[in-house]
Amino acid sequence: MVRYLEPALALSRADLWERYRNLRDRILARVDRLTHRRARVRTHDRLTRQGRLRRILVICTGNICRSPYAAAALRSATARLEVESAGFIGPGRPADPRGAPIALSRGVDLSEHRSRLVTAEDTTRFDLFLVMTRRHRDELHRRFGISLAHIALLGDFDESGAPEREIADPYGQPDQAFHKAFDQIDRSIRGFSKHLGSLPDG
């Protein structure tokens, strides 16, 4: 009897863990509305101390929606950086079929994009890892041992000063969700580019 209960118990633990993470994310999102300004300042100060950046890896969950768009936008915004994108699941896939046309309508062509996974080699190749959510940041730190000093939430550079630090995943959502995510990415890339311009060249 115990053996038959084990899968149910394991599933229950997984469900409880996921519910805990979702609750934590909602609580932190509310805290962001109160502390985002301070968090933005800390992020900017930390990258200023880090100095000049040369190689950046932009990361989201599946590397088919947010990170390829953000990487392409960042490459268009500055020629001084080597920029790539990656994710945690599903290598070898094209950009999302709903998001790609929306990206193209905004001047970002993702037709040649193919998703790839974050690798251990990336930890030594890149100076900075731009992520969409805390989960991405925590996963990089836990799985690859990347210092938190080299990871930043892209939303911390949103030039509009919006209270949301995280950029929500539009995967499987209506067009409106893609426009919202891409708008937030565009504002954040502009803010990040301004920050780059303030860094010393040495």
Taking the C-alpha atoms of residue 87 and residue 11, their distance in angstroms, rounded to an integer, is: 25
* Integer Cα distance of 85 and 116 in angstroms: 8
Q: Name the catalytic one among 138, 169, 183, 190.
A: 169
Residue 135's closest CA among 123, 143, 126? Answer: 143
Q: Point out the catalytic residue in the list 66, 134, 137, 165.
A: 66
- Of the residues 60, 122, 158, 187, only one is catalytic, namely 60
Is-catalytic flag, 66?
Answer: yes
Determine the Cα–Cα distance for residues 44 and 192; give it in Å rounded to an integer: 9
Q: Rounded distance, CA 90 to CA 118, Å?
A: 11
**Angular region, 50: left φ>0, alpha ψ -120 to 50, beta rest:** alpha
- Residue 58 CA to residue 85 CA, distance in Å, equals 5
Q: Is 60 a catalytic residue?
A: yes
169 is catalytic: yes
List, by residue number, the catalytic residues: 60, 66, 169
